[in-house]
Amino acid sequence: MGIEWRIIQREWRLVMARPGEVLKPMWFLLLVISLIPLALSPDSTLLAEIGPAMIWVATLLAILLNMDHLFKDDYSEGVLEQWLFWSRPFAWCVAIKLLTHWLFYILPLILMTPIVGLMLSIEADVIAVLLVTLLVATPALTCFSGLGGALTLGAARSGVLGVLVMLPLFVPVVILAAGVITRTTDGAGVGPLLALLAAFSLGAAILMPLAIAAAIRLNIGGST
């Protein structure tokens, strides 16, 4: 586990050196949710009805804030080139990078869900299901964000370009998550949709590191 541990240690040092990169999405989510009652209505019934969808959209946008930084620093500092010569497959190193990004940047954002849910008067069972959908779906979103970041490495305004490239992949995940939440509020079973959402994330976790590795190799080869 030496190489894997080195990747995790580097990510942790980057988090400690720039804690604002972790706090920025959390503040963004909190700000957006705080503005909803001001922009619409303070009526608790209305907020409870639209709250889960608003939290999901705000969380998705918050995740995209750090998308262009996912591989940008490693690319500019030559770390990605070093991965090519390591004893582990390049796609495996990419997978460890995606995992650490999810743990250090996405998971703290998800853990804020109960707080922002209470701010919008969402019922406890709906908050619990919302939390589950985020835990199940965000690995796929992280992988798609990684692919967008890898495809736009070295490009000007890579963040905006990456969002446009990856937006079609985000849509099915959001639709499935919205379906789970809607069925929860209607009192219907959510097992099949959650299983499909989990399968989506599992497929992304298996296939996306290979695609990201290929995209990074292409960018590294084009820059040399």
Choose between 224 and 28: higher pLDDT.
Answer: 28
Higher pLDDT, 186 or 25: 25
Residue-level pLDDT at 202: 92
* Separate counts of helices (H) and strands (E) for the chain: 11, 0
Residue 148 has a pLDDT of 82
Q: Specify the pLDDT at position 156.
A: 56
d(CA 36, CA 180): 22
Beta carbons within 8 Å of 123's beta carbon, 6+ residues apart: 48
- What integer pLDDT is reported at residue 209 of this predicted model? 92
For the residues of 129-143, what is the DSSP string, one character each?
HHHHHHHHHHHHHHH
Q: What is the mean pLDDT of residues 193-222?
A: 86
154 membership: H or E segment, kind and range: none
Q: Please say if the pLDDT value at position 55 is more than 90.
A: no
Identify which has the larger pLDDT, 120 or 144: 144
Residue 162 pLDDT more than 80?
A: no
- CB-CB contact of 80 with 74 (8 Å): yes
Q: Cα–Cα distance between 90 and 206 in angstroms, integer?
A: 13
> Averaged over 48-66, what is the pLDDT?
82
Q: How far apart are the C-alpha atoms of 179 and 174, rounded to whole Å?
A: 8
pLDDT computed for residue 171 by the predictor: 84
Higher pLDDT, 90 or 156: 90
CA angle 172, 175, 178 (to 5 degrees): 150
Instruction: Pick 71 or 99 by higher pLDDT.
Output: 99
How many C-beta atoms surround the C-beta of residue 22 within 10 A? 17
CA dihedral 108, 24, 214, 133 (to 10 degrees): 40
pLDDT value of position 130: 86
Residue 66 near residue 29, CB atoms below 8 Å:
no
Domains of the chain, residue spans: 2-223
pLDDT band at 71 (very low <50, low <70, confident <90, very high): confident
Query: Average pLDDT in the 91-117 region?
Result: 89
Sign for the pseudo-dihedral over CA of 219, 173, 160, 69: negative
What confidence tier does 160 reach under pLDDT thresholds 50, 70, 90? low
Q: Evaluate if residue 52 carries a pLDDT over 60.
A: yes
Extract the tokens encoding 185: 């509020």
Q: So what's the pLDDT on residue 122?
A: 82
> Does the pLDDT value for residue 97 go beyond 50?
yes
> How far is it, in rounded angstroms, from Cα 148 to Cα 139?
14
Residue type, 136: V
pLDDT at 224: 46
Mean pLDDT of the chain: 82
